[in-house]
């Protein structure tokens, strides 16, 4: 089964590939199908640097500004795919229209900003030859076949302009250029190999003008990138049209490229502190997307009643602060209104979602689970539905299949939810009293898969609370269709700590000895995962984010008195306990090593 990946991540893989940055023997399919979303993040931490170093090899823009631009690209993309568009066009058709408008405009703007001023005359700049080729008579608009023929002519003419001495053998490079054609792709590595071979022979001959090979390398690889882009997207004419408008100053204010220019290059591309400045970016991206949607002239159902119903369904699903109860009669009323205005069967996905909620309301969680399995998520419209249905699907997997969940088995659902989330995960603030209060220092919270799992459980349990008639249950009774028990192991271990340690104000080494003596910690359970659906949930890490774990994983009716007691403890005691746990870990590890050494000595 192909693991669904984050769609913006997939686009960046394609950029990385077109730029020829994959190393030889790299398994690209494995990279794309990383089961852990953190792997995508780690890959792109390195990949973005390489992409930036390639397209802006002369550092026309500060690297930090470049990183912010990529962040803005992603926010724009995520904002579009999460916008609810009720249309007779399907999601794929709408995305094609979007990419035909946005990607060429973004590239044209990037060429323009990178080659501003004197830089457009710098032949070492990655975009120099791309610009020159597009603006020359060698580029034949609306004739794809001639693009490849004229790329050959352009490169050969450029080689001639470099005035290599007749004794320099360039035959392997010329042969490679002759093989440029629409039906095949040339790898950047092959181009570099051919140039390196010719350069090596020239050096042996005592050739002193090796910089000419560097100039040729930039020209060939950049033109090849242009051709690869055309093969993959067929959007080169759109890039040309946008760039021509820029240099001729013919851009109209209402056009998407004008809106994109204002959004991307607003003069505020400084370091974005996620959680603060990103709210401004989010607001601006919304304005740009709204203008692009208007420009695309997508046939959209603009019925205000339907809009209100869809908004209400989305708010019910995702707003953790909206605690209004929902009755069965209310959902049936929404269904009647949707059926009334569904002229082209385009509202069926929303009706399907309401049917899922009604099954949950009747506590028919097995039926809801099986119902979801028959939904083809590829046919869902743009907007919140894919993420919403995947959230419930994931929650029901945890509820019904907890014992059969294996490492990585929930990843396809997590990736579906992440489709409308940023690869720059917005982490939640940790409780003030935690020693490692910098969010990145806690392995539980910095793991994006953990975040999505906790969010999904919290959203599902809140949905259950909203649709369940509390009169049918006792005050402290856990709803049977909620996800409960996630924190049981952690709460019991904290109970043992309270029972045997009592005073957390004493010296940390004294607490550590008690922890070992009472076998709260043993070598075998040092890194025991106390929350089986999450990763990195050792006792030390859990105590570092108890308030978040409690807020997100507590089911309606669950108390967890020991967790609540620890959350209420002062900062000094929590810090002291975590130091003691760290000391206990070291003692247990040292004791284990001593035993191993003793066995070896005997």
> Do 97 and 189 lie in a common domain?
yes
> Do 495 and 358 lie in a common domain?
no
CA 30 to chain centre: 17
> Do 315 and 206 lie in a common domain?
no
Q: CB of 347 within 8 A of CB of 341?
A: yes
> Do 102 and 228 lie in a common domain?
yes
Q: CB of 242 within 8 A of CB of 104?
A: yes
Q: CB of 182 within 8 A of CB of 157?
A: no
Measured between alpha carbons, how far is residue 540 from residues 428, 575, 578 in Å? 19, 11, 6
> Do 292 and 279 lie in a common domain?
yes
Q: CB of 401 within 8 A of CB of 512?
A: no
> Do 322 and 273 lie in a common domain?
no
Question: DSSP class of residue 520?
Answer: S
461 closest CA partner among 484, 477, 444: 484
| Token output for 587 | 């003692």
Q: Which pLDDT band, with edges at 50, 70 and 90, does 78 fall under? A: confident
| Distance in angstroms (rounded) separating the CA atoms of residues 557 and 478 | 5
Structural domain including 142 reads: 84-299
217 closest CA partner among 195, 198, 199: 195
Answer yes or no: is pLDDT of 245 > 70: yes
- Residue 51 belongs to some domain of the structure: no
Answer yes or no: is pLDDT of 142 > 50: yes
> Do 292 and 313 lie in a common domain?
no
| Distance in angstroms (rounded) separating the CA atoms of residues 527 and 518 | 17
Helix (H, G, I), strand (E, B) or coil at 255: coil
The per-residue pLDDT for range 501-553, each reduced to its tens digit, is: 877 778 889 899 999 998 888 888 888 899 988 989 999 999 989 999 999 99
Single residue among 421, 444, 468 that ends a domain in this structure:
421
| Distance in angstroms (rounded) separating the CA atoms of residues 6 and 37 | 8
Cα angle vertex 233, ends 227, 234, to 5°?
A: 70
Q: Which pLDDT band, with edges at 50, 70 and 90, does 284 fall under? A: confident
> Do 371 and 517 lie in a common domain?
no
Instruction: Give just the sign of the alpha carbon dihedral 69, 74, 79, 80.
Output: positive
- Give the chain's domain count: 3
Q: CB of 2 within 8 A of CB of 378?
A: no
Question: Which residue is listed with tokens 């290599």?
Answer: 164
First to last CA, the chain: 52
Answer yes or no: is pLDDT of 39 > 80: no
Q: What are φ and ψ of residue 533, in 5° steps?
A: -85, -10
> Do 275 and 330 lie in a common domain?
no
The per-residue pLDDT for range 108-128, each reduced to its tens digit, is: 999 999 998 888 899 999 999
Name the least confident of 232-241, 436-445, 473-482, 525-534: 436-445
> Do 309 and 249 lie in a common domain?
no
pLDDT at 36: 57
Beta bridge partners of 300: 87
The dihedral region occupied by 345, where left means phi > 0, alpha psi between -120 and 50, and beta the remainder, is left
Q: Which pLDDT band, with edges at 50, 70 and 90, does 185 fall under? A: very high
Single residue among 404, 421, 438 that ends a domain in this structure:
421
Q: CB of 427 within 8 A of CB of 273?
A: no
> Do 308 and 295 lie in a common domain?
no
- Residue 198 belongs to some domain of the structure: yes
Portion of the chain with pLDDT greater than 70, in percent: 87
Compute and round to an integer the Cα radius of gyration of the chain: 29
What pTM was estimated for this model as a whole? 0.84
- Residue 64 belongs to some domain of the structure: no
| Distance in angstroms (rounded) separating the CA atoms of residues 400 and 484 | 11
Question: Which residue is listed with tokens 């746990």?
Answer: 581
Q: Which pLDDT band, with edges at 50, 70 and 90, does 411 fall under? A: confident
- Residue 201 belongs to some domain of the structure: yes
| Distance in angstroms (rounded) separating the CA atoms of residues 69 and 414 | 26
Helix or strand run (H / E) with residue 481: none
Answer yes or no: is pLDDT of 28 > 80: no
Question: Which residue is listed with tokens 């090596």?
Answer: 200
> Do 165 and 262 lie in a common domain?
yes
Cα angle vertex 549, ends 546, 553, to 5°?
A: 145
- Residue 545 belongs to some domain of the structure: yes
Single residue among 283, 299, 315 that ends a domain in this structure:
299
């Amino acid at each position: 089964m192909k693991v669904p990946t984050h769609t913006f991540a997939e686009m960046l893989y394609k950029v990385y590939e077109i730029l020829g940055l994959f190393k030889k023997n790299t398994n690209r399919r494995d990279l794309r199908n990383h089961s852990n979303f953190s792997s995508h993040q780690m890959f792109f931490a390195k990949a973005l640097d390489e992409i930036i170093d390639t397209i802006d090899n002369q550092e026309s823009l500060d690297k930090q500004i470049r990183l912010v631009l990529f962040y803005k690209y992603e926010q724009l993309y995520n904002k579009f795919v999460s916008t609810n568009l009720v249309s007779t066009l399907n999601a794929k058709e709408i995305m094609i229209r979007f990419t035909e408008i946005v990607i060429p405009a973004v590239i044209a703007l990037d060429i323009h900003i990178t080659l501003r001023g004197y830089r457009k005359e710098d032949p070492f700049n990655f975009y120099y030859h791309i610009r020159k080729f597009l603006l020359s008579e060698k580029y034949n608009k609306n004739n794809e076949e001639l693009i490849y023929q004229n790329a050959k002519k352009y490169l050969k003419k450029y080689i001639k302009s470099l005035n290599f001495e007749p004794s320099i053998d360039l035959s392997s490079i010329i042969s490679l250029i002759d093989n440029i054609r629409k039906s095949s792709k040339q790898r950047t590595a092959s181009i570099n190999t051919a140039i390196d071979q010719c350069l090596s022979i020239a050096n042996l001959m005592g050739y002193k003008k090796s910089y000419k090979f560097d100039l040729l390398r930039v020209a060939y690889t950049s033109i090849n990138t242009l051709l690869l882009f055309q093969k993959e997207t067929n959007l080169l004419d759109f890039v040309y049209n946008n760039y021509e408008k820029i240099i001729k100053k013919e851009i109209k204010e209402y056009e998407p490229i004008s809106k994109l220019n204002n959004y991307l290059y607003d003069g505020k591309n400084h370091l974005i502190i996620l959680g603060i400045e990103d709210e401004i970016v989010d607001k601006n991206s919304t304005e740009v997307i709204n203008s692009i949607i208007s420009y695309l002239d997508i046939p959209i159902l603009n019925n205000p009643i339907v809009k209100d119903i869809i908004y209400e369904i989305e708010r019910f699903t995702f707003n953790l602060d909206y605690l209004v109860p929902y009755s069965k009669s209310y959902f049936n009323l929404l269904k009647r209104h949707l059926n009334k205005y569904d002229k082209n069967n385009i509202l069926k996905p929303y009706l399907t979602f309401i049917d899922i909620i009604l099954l949950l309301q009747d506590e028919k969680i097995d039926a809801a689970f099986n119902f979801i399995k028959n939904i083809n998520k590829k046919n869902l419209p743009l907007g919140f539905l894919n993420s919403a249905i995947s959230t419930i699907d994931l929650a029901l997997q945890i509820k019904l299949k907890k014992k059969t969940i294996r490492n990585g088995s929930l990843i396809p659902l997590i990736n579906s939810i992440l489709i409308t989330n940023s690869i720059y995960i917005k982490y939640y603030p940790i409780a003030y009293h935690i020693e490692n209060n910098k969010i990145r220092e806690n392995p539980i919270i910095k793991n994006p898969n953990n975040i999505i799992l906790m969010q999904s459980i919290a959203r599902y349990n809140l949905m259950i609370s909203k649709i369940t008639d509390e009169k049918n249950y006792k005050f402290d009774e856990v709803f049977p269709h909620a996800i409960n028990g996630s924190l049981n192991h952690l709460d019991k271990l904290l109970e043992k700590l309270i029972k045997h340690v009592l005073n957390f104000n004493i010296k940390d080494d004294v607490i550590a000895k008690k922890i070992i003596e009472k076998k709260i910690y043993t070598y075998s359970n040092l890194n025991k995962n106390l929350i089986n659906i999450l990763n990195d949930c050792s006792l030390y890490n859990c105590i570092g984010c108890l308030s978040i774990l409690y807020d997100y994983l507590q089911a309606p009716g669950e108390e967890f008195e020991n967790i609540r007691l620890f959350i209420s403890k002062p900062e000094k005691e929590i810090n002291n306990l975590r130091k003691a746990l760290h000391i206990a870990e070291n003692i247990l590890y040292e004791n284990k090593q001593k035993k191993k050494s003793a066995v070896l000595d005997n």
